[in-house]
Structure 1
């Protein structure tokens, strides 16, 4: 059913269709598959203020043909699937949870990596949609997830018990109702949950724009009421498809001397200085490293956590067969190793640039939490103005099967002092 604004006054029109869904614009559509009386309201916001017009819409008979749309079948499994279809966050794939400007088309500010919110309540949420009765069963093991703005909104409704999970933000005690209903506007691709239900992450809204809805994926966007101007994106998959991918263990030797144009080991950079580059002229082409080209590593002034890293493509490191990392390093004496710098927090004891290098093994699948399960070997007080060959022995964690990332940090992390360092002849071997 289509609704039209017939007023001559210019402004913004907002609709409440009385079936749990809302709309915006001079005209908007809603669907009413079930008989009943629906209280419709249209609010016009103009320069002189706002005005609301209300009336009751009586639907005499059920029109279950509206439920035969492919979107209903994809969401619920169809009318013959009486137990409904259960959806969960697509936790093992990147981009299943993210935030960006409300009118953007993607979560450009931040998007979760695989299992990025593993230690929160986000992945405990399950949503079972049933076509018969357009019913939603929501289970959450007693908690929902939100940020600071959402925490205030939940507290205003009486949900005040919260904890800070290791993944940050807040898990808030919340018990869903035994069941909810939902409406699916197939014309405008909008999913609306009744009675204040939401998809496990509280933003103050129960209305979701459907970006994709197929048998195997549901990708939604919600306009946050708790933080106007922010949009949140969620990707869900059927519960039975939410399976951790099987990633093989491999022994793949890595060797790079930075002499050629085509590198076999390419390091990604994070918060590095502009001078950082592979294939830089060797500042001291003498034994033990007479090669012409090396890697220049610039720890950027003003950054607490400059680093470079390599991530294995499609496999995990077989550390039972390969657990040694060797490289040559050069620590220039012209760096400022004495000035105390700003630090990331009170937990950082060292405030000065160090003649040091740390090599870390991490699980990149944890995204921003990759550090939380890392193994680090740090070598400090290294001799300056001389090429040194160092070997980092990770045989002590040869039984670990989750690592697929090598991260390198010069100068010691946590302070914002800058410096120049060099390394060469990187090898990951047995």
Structure 2
């Protein structure tokens, strides 16, 4: 029904044996009877407790990192009264990150709502980075990733709302020979049916030790068709 690229696996059982084949099927256009439904609002991707629209994982390609679901270190005050949250920790790694990847066939739409939010709790002065990428590029995903948006934690051990607005944010790099833009929210190459990954880092580029940040209530643009 929906256009996009989907992973498909077929399994056949014959003569007591199992044969499996996987491939990618690309649907070029929506079915004529399909009606797109996109809200001009934010939705909750993951509250690490009751709501998991899209799971979060850890990328430790350049060093050690962990992601755990833990008890909320302080659920006594607004803005976070929930029982559980996530704890992301990196060990002597520059770019290790926690990431959320949309299911096959789904992409972020930045045309109506370009803001992502996440609750953070950590050490004052630590920097939390959030960026978008397209995993279709594999190891070259960085080439068309958004410019880094960074929130600096204001107080020790207090929940804060980190907001990342992609209005006017650039993406891609002209020296790679690929597409690039000065604003991902207005460029049709980037603002719809392109990005499918959110990456979150703590103190990006710093591999001098162990750094941790608690995360909760990751939210962003409504994803058309995802429920």
Task: Please give the range of the TM-score, normalised by the shorter of the 2 chains.
Answer: 0.5 to 0.7
TM-score (norm 1): 0.35
Q: 1:382 to 1:312 in 2, by over 3 A?
A: same
Cα pair distance change 1:331/1:361, threshold 3 Å: same
Judged with a 3 Å threshold, the aligned counterparts in structure 2 of structure 1 residues 378 and 246 are, in CA distance, closer, same or farther, namely: farther
Measure how far apart 1:246 and its partner are.
Answer: 4.0
Match of 1:365, SS state, is: helix
Please report how far the alpha carbon of residue 417 of structure 1 lies from its aligned counterpart in structure 2 after TM superposition.
2.2
Contact 1:327 1:427 in 2 (8 A): yes
Which residue does the alignment assign to 1:294? 85
**Contact between 2:101 and 2:196, CA under 8 Å: does it hold in 1?**
yes
Does the CA-based 8 Å contact 1:258-1:425 persist in structure 2? yes
1:365-418: CA deviation from partner (whole Å, max 9, x where unpaired):
111111111112112353222111121111332132321111111122352421
Contact 1:364 1:405 in 2 (8 A): yes
Paired position in structure 2 for 1:327: 118
* Residues 381 and 258 of structure 1, relative CA distance in 2, 3 Å threshold: closer
Cα contact 1:331–1:385 (8 A) shared by 2: yes
Is 1:264 the counterpart of 2:36? The answer is: no
Q: Give aligned pairs, total.
A: 168
CA contact under 8 A between 1:355 and 1:380: conserved in structure 2? yes
The gaps in structure 1 that reach 5 residues or longer are: 1-91, 95-216, 218-242, 334-353
Matches of 1:290 and 1:325, distance apart in 2: 20
CA 373–419 in structure 1, closer or farther in 2 if over 3 Å, else same: same
C-alpha offsets along residues 240-289 of structure 1, whole Å, 9 cap, x if unaligned? xxx986488984834322123x7322112111534x213x1011222221
Specify which of 373, 377, 389 is matched with residue 144 of structure 2: 373
TM-score, normalized by length of structure 2? 0.63
2:185 matches 1:398: yes
Work out which structure has the larger RCO, using CA pairs closer than 8 Å and 6 or more positions apart in sequence: 2
Question: Could you tell me how far apart the structure 2 residues matched to 1:310 and 1:269 are?
Answer: 9
Match of 2:18 in 1: none
Q: Does 2:164 correspond to 1:389? A: no
Conserved 8 A contact 1:295-1:424: yes
Aligned to 2:99: 309
Q: Does 1:364 align with 2:135?
A: yes
Change in CA separation of 1:247 and 1:307 when aligned onto 2, cut-off 3 Å:
farther
| RMSD of aligned Cα (Å) | 3.0
Unaligned runs of 5+ residues in structure 2 are: 8-22, 31-35, 169-183, 223-227
**Counterparts of 2:117 and 2:144, CA distance in 1:** 22
- Deviation, 1:429, is 3.1
> What is the CA–CA distance in structure 1 between the aligned matches of 2:57 and 2:38, rounded to whole Å?
21
Note the 1:32-51 alignment, pairs <5 A. Answer: none
SS in 1 for 2:215: strand
Aligned partners of 2:129 and 2:151 also within 8 Å: yes
Tell me the secondary structure at the aligned position of residue 65 of structure 2: coil
SS of the residue aligned with 2:160?
Answer: strand
